[in-house]
């Protein structure tokens, strides 16, 4: 899959809007909410926002604050099965729809994020 200049296309503000829309859904979700710290959903939102901005060519804030992403290591403590993966993608797709991203950006993000979500599955 070729890289798409996501930050260039929707800006860091667009990424922030997407992540905020996603976490509004996570806050009340029975599958995903238990995986997040009870009092730090906002922190998780900031980390995902900063990671995606960095990964898509924006500010290096994530790496400056947290170092290499090491996604599998950082997610190893969470029981991520195909149900959790699919729910994560469902909520992210709803967030992309809410944000009315350009069709090509939404399609590219869905493919990219779907691959990452599958990569993070660590339970049968």
Chain segment 25-62, per-residue pLDDT in tens: 999 999 999 999 888 899 999 999 999 999 999 999 99
- Residue 57: HSE in the Cβ half-sphere, 13 Å Cα cutoff: 9
Chain segment 48-100, per-residue pLDDT in tens: 999 999 999 999 999 999 999 999 999 999 999 999 999 999 999 999 999 99
Q: Extract long-range pairs of 77-80: CB within 8 Å, 24+ residues apart.
A: 78/35, 78/122, 79/35, 79/122, 79/123, 80/35, 80/120, 80/121, 80/122, 80/123
Structure pTM? 0.93
All structural domains of the chain = 6-119 (1.10.490.10)
Considering Cα of 82, then 83, then 84, then 85, what sign does the dihedral take? positive
Residue 2 above 70 pLDDT? no
What is the DSSP secondary structure assignment for residue 36, as one 8-state letter? S
């Amino acid at each position: 899959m070729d890289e798409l200049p996501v930050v260039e296309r929707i800006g860091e503000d667009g990424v922030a809007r997407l992540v905020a829309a996603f976490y509004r859904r996570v806050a009340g979700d029975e599958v995903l909410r238990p995986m997040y710290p009870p009092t730090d959903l906002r922190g998780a939102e900031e980390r995902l926002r900063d990671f995606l901005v960095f990964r898509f060519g924006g500010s290096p804030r994530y790496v400056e604050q947290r170092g290499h992403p090491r996604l599998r290591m950082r997610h190893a403590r969470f029981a991520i099965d195909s149900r959790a993966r699919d729910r994560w993608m469902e909520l992210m797709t709803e967030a992309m729809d809410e944000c009315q991203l350009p069709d090509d950006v939404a399609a590219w993000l869905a493919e990219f994020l779907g691959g990452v979500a599958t990569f993070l599955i660590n339970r049968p």
